[in-house]
Amino acid sequence: MTDSTTGTTGTAGTAGTTGGPRWPVTEAEAVAEQERIRAAADPVGPGPAPGRARRIAGVDVTYDEDSDLLVAAAVVLDAESLEVLEESVHTGRSRFPYIPGLLAFRELPPVLAALEKLGTSPDLVVCDGYGYAHPRRAGLAVHLGVLTGLPCFGVAKSPFVFDHTEPGPRRGDTSPLLDRSSTPAETVGRALRTRPGVRPVFVSAGHGIGLDHACAHTLRLTPRYRLPETTRGADGLSRRVLREIRQGLREPYGAAER
């Protein structure tokens, strides 16, 4: 399989072991893929309201600073008690650099691998990043939702390229997240105060669930901390496992990796 041109044709790599999606290699290919993802996405929902999702998953990836090692984690919580029902991890290596706007191509291959290791599929997935709030409306949560068919939304820690005004001081206060580069300016998400006196998080719809339900779930997932328990769980697990690998307490790659 050789390219006859200078790297704009073909794709390479597969996710998992069963021949999942094929991942782009060049930026141009990645952007073209996002246009297809956007076309297939449902950012409106309304999707599952709180109470209609029992198993809520959080996913996150931790990277080693100077090797290409990474650990992706999925943590499934009981929507009511927020207790951990199941956890899974995938250890591998990064195959796509971090490029703003193209984060999904770096994070989703290992995230999908971790999700596939769960015994039972979740009812809803919370991503650490954006969904609809994206230059091409195809952020992490949109992309993951389209690939898996699961309702999925995003909770980000910083406003990315978007504008917002400070939401009110109380838990639950919101302000619109605006994309002023589009014509006309469009509301793409919401700054949401999850804890009083603490910086807001930035919620956006993904696939199969709308912004209102996404914010409602986010509030239920933040009874004590700024970030959703799903995100905290996945972040903690992935960091823990990467530390174990560094200490030689765990094998760096899974069976099919390398």
Number of separate helices (H) and strands (E) present in the chain: 5, 10
Quick note: the x/- pattern for DNA over 188-227, rule CB under 7 A, is ----------------------------------------
State the DSSP string of 179-207.
Answer: ETTSSS-EEEEEEE--STTS--EEEEEEE
Contact mark string toward DNA, 109..138, x via CB under 7 A: -------------------xxx---x----
The pair of structure tokens assigned to 126 is: 């919370």
- Other C-beta atoms within 10 Å of 52: how many? 12
Strand bridging mode 12-14 / 22-23? antiparallel
Residue recorded with tokens 């030689």: 248
60 is in an annotated binding site: yes
Q: Which is nearer to DNA, 54 or 226 (CB)?
A: 226
Nearer to DNA, 98 or 256 (CB): 98
Among 158, 166, 223, 256, binds DNA (CB under 7 A): 158
Smaller CB separation from DNA, 54 or 163: 163
Kindly indicate which of the ranges 12-20, 49-57, 115-123, 151-159 contains the residues binding DNA, using the contact rule CB under 7 A: 151-159
Query: Is the Cβ–Cβ distance between 156 and 129 less than 8 Å?
Result: yes
Q: Which of 139, 145, 208, 252 binds DNA (CB under 7 A)?
A: 139
Q: What is the DSSP letter of 255?
A: T
Minimum CB separation of residue 135 from DNA in Å reads 8
Nearer CB in complex with DNA: 161/256: 161
Q: Any idea what DSSP says for residue 257? A: -
| 99 vs 256, beta carbon nearer DNA | 99
Task: Give Cα 113 to chain centroid, integer Å.
Answer: 13
Q: Which residues, 6 or more positions from 217, have their beta carbon under 8 angstroms from its beta carbon?
A: 50, 53, 56, 124, 126, 153
Please, what is the minimum distance in Å from the beta carbon of residue 31 to DNA?
Answer: 11
Window of 12-20, 111-119, 153-161, 185-193 that interacts with DNA by CB under 7 A = 153-161
Q: Any idea which residue has 């996002």 for tokens? A: 34
Q: Which residue has tokens 């990836």?
A: 61
Between 56 and 61, name the residue whose CB sits nearer to DNA.
61
Q: Which of residues 30-89 bind DNA (CB under 7 A)?
A: 60-63, 65
- 154 is a contact residue toward DNA (CB under 7 A): yes
Q: Would the CA dihedral through 49, 168, 58, 43 be positive or negative?
A: positive
Q: Which residue ranges are tagged as binding site for Mg(2+)?
A: 60, 128
Q: Which residues bind DNA (CB under 7 A)?
A: 60-63, 65, 98, 100-104, 128-130, 134, 139-140, 154, 156-161, 239, 242
